Amino acid sequence: MRPFQSSEHKPTCTNNTSYRMLGTLTDAEDAMQETFVRLTRVGADGIEDVEGWLVTVAGRVCLDMLRASATRRRYVGPWLPEPLIDQFASAPDPADQVTLDDTIRIALLAVLHTLSPAERVAFVLHDVFGLTFQAISEIVGRSPAAPRKLASRARAVIRDDSEPRFDVTGAQAESVAERFAAACAGGDIADLVAVLAPDVVGEFDSGGRIAGAPQSAQVGSELVSIVLADSLFGAGADFRVADVNGRPGVVVSLRGQVMAVIDLETEGHLVRALRAIGNPEKLAHLTR
């Protein structure tokens, strides 16, 4: 067996697996470190399938972290994942890129966050990475039949999610994002209302760190525009269209510091849903 090389297996263990389950790069990095510590203790020479071993152990580590976080204090306001910005265009090392597919979009990761830790682990490891239910049963510590039921329940939650999906081309989505960014930069609420669907849904993740930030979803173009205006207009901020978890979104910066990242769900020429992540803890990696 060839010697183990961490760069070869890092994307599967951390970026692909842990980020989808945990929703933050910081936690995913912690999970990676713990996984490789365990590999060092065991030694790679005696492992037939190192990559499979890493995914399995990463699943166990993430499950422990998810269970621990479930016992902590309740999150203030909507929870959204830590965003990935320009991950697919500018990462210097392909091994550091997250595979571009639908399972990293902000909306799906937010739905996964509502699942139990075991449901989330079963869904990600089986439906995304193809682990057998037998292998997953060993990770979650249940009978072989349990992971099948866990994954089925997870699929039902995802399928029944009330927010619709809209199929648009990359060029269409980028055009809407540019109009949205221009309206924000111009500071005109009427221009912003014009790019939002009348029944647009807006979620604002501040983690309770931003005074006045809504703690529930806001519905309607005028209401969402007022929230955005109160938070972002008049500060001289820069609004840049960027790749946000694999789709066009907007990064808001002030004097080189990222203030917010806005994920956009578009249909035709309008924004149908937006998710603004302003919790400083979830944006710290962008400044680094």
Tell me if 53 sits within 8 A of 111, measured CB to CB. Answer: no
262-279: per-residue pLDDT in tens?
999 999 999 999 999 999
Instruction: Please give the structure tokens belonging to residue 17.
Output: 């697996």
**What is the per-residue pLDDT for 5?**
34
**What is the per-residue pLDDT for 163?**
58
Record the pTM. Answer: 0.82
225-258: per-residue pLDDT in tens?
999 999 888 778 999 999 999 889 999 999 889 9
Decide if pLDDT at 83 tops 90.
yes
Q: Which one-letter amino acid corresponds to residue 16?
A: N
Decide if pLDDT at 95 tops 60.
no
147-172: per-residue pLDDT in tens?
999 999 999 998 887 555 555 567 88
C-alpha torsion angle, residues 116, 118, 120, 126 (rounded to 10): -160
